[in-house]
Amino acid sequence: MRTIVITGGTDGMGAALARHYLGAGDRVVVVGRSRAKFDALLTSATAARAEFIAADLSSVADGRRVVEHLRAGHERIDALVLAASFVRQRRHVTAEGHEASWVLFFVSKFVFVTGLAAQFGAAERPVVVNTAVPGARADAIDFDDLEMSEKFTFARSNAQQRRANELLGILAAEANPDLAYVTWGPARIVRSSFAGDVGTAMKVGAAVLGKLLGQRPDAAVRPVIGIIDAPSPGRAAFRGAKRRPLTIGAHDDKDAARLAAAVEDGR
Ligand SMILES: NC(=O)c1ccc[n+]([C@@H]2O[C@H](COP(=O)([O-])OP(=O)(O)OC[C@H]3O[C@@H](n4cnc5c(N)ncnc54)[C@H](OP(=O)(O)O)[C@@H]3O)[C@@H](O)[C@H]2O)c1
């Protein structure tokens, strides 16, 4: 029986994947905030193979606690899906003093991917699917101000975390060449819960676009299921079912190492 860990597995695409893998007979660990939403995913036939870990992944300490819990409870993890999402249009500082989106969309993912290396190492065909839309510019990271205390915009913050998540694949592949590490975004907008704190224009825009052009979460994640069920070792990027080129910058290895040093220093 495979063990599949899904952050943001209580809603949207994460929940669609949780439902699929519970139905397929796998063990599924859901990390999210709402136990009620987790309970709603279960049936009497699947509940025994499901585990819920309540966490706020915009907290560095909570992310580390979840990883410790997973390490203690699971010798092997076959697949990790990183799909927790809470879109903030404005800069928000957490009680820990960090910028919330940088932690939720990058630091917590770094903590999961690096902290679970031994669990991936014990799997025959380990795979990480990181739902960070690939294709951000190579120079999208502001190494002098990773938490964007100045010049924060939604667009800059979004591009930076997407680029950082592509570079995280370099660290993951270095640690385990057998690991498949995929940055993945849907082919088009998905009618999910759009969890977030955004202005009216973005809220209405997402709702209207979602209604007109949006895919259902269970349809959107079909390519992800294909990736998880037949993983190819190494880094890759996808939009929907289509492979996309990885962004190659002039200093990718150095940039990946700089990111790791910054997170490990708590910057
Ligand atoms: N929807 C789209 O069109 C679209 C487009 C491009 C990329 N993506 C990416 O695809 C992924 C999934 O998106 P989605 O739209 O399907 O998600 P969604 O429906 O908005 O669901 C978000 C999930 O993240 C969890 N979550 C939110 N804040 C959290 C926190 N602080 N700590 C832990 N968990 C938290 C939620 O948990 P609770 O429900 O328990 O609160 C929920 O399970 C995200 O990475 C998103 O950026 C989505």
Q: What are the pLDDT digits (tens) for 160-178?
A: 999 999 999 999 999 999 9
**Ligand 1 site: residues with CB under 6 angstroms?**
8, 10-14, 32-34, 37, 55-58, 83-86, 104, 131, 133, 185-186, 189-190, 192-195, 217
Q: Any residues with CB less than 8 A from the CB of 65 and at least 6 apart, and which? A: 55
CATH of the domain at 146: 3.40.50.720
Show the tokens assigned to 162.
């997407």
The atom number, within ligand 1, closest to the CA of 191 reads 1
Q: What's the pLDDT score for residue 75?
A: 98
- Domain extent, residue 225, equals 3-264
> How remote is the CA of residue 95 from the centroid of ligand 1, in Å?
21
Bridge partner list, 5: 29, 80
Q: Which residues contact 22 (CB under 8 A, 6 or more apart)?
A: 28, 41, 42, 43, 46, 49, 50
Interval 192-251: pLDDT, tens: 888 888 888 888 888 888 888 899 999 999 999 999 999 999 999 999 999 999 999 999
Could you tell me the distance, in angstroms and rounded to a whole number, from the CA of residue 200 to the centre of ligand 1? 19
Number of domains in the chain: 1
The β-bridge partners of 93 are 99
The answer for residues whose C-beta is within 8 angstroms of residue 86's C-beta and 6 or more apart is: 58, 100, 101, 104, 195, 196, 197
Conformational region of residue 134, where left means phi above 0, alpha means psi within -120 to 50, and beta covers everything else: beta
Tell me the CA distances in angstroms from 60 to 40, 64, 150, 189, 264, one per residue in order: 28, 6, 21, 29, 11
Q: Are strands 242-244 and 79-82 parallel, antiparallel or unpaired?
A: unpaired
What pLDDT score does 206 carry?
Answer: 84
Q: Alpha-carbon distance 80 to 65, whole Å?
A: 16
Q: What is this structure's pTM?
A: 0.97
User: Residue 62 is encoded by which pair of tokens?
Assistant: 């909570």
The average pLDDT across 27-55 equals: 97
Give the burial string for 146-155 (b: 16+ CB within 10 Å, else e): bbbeeebebe
Give the nearest ligand 1 atom to 56 CA. 32
How are beta strands 87-88 and 196-197 bridged, if at all? parallel
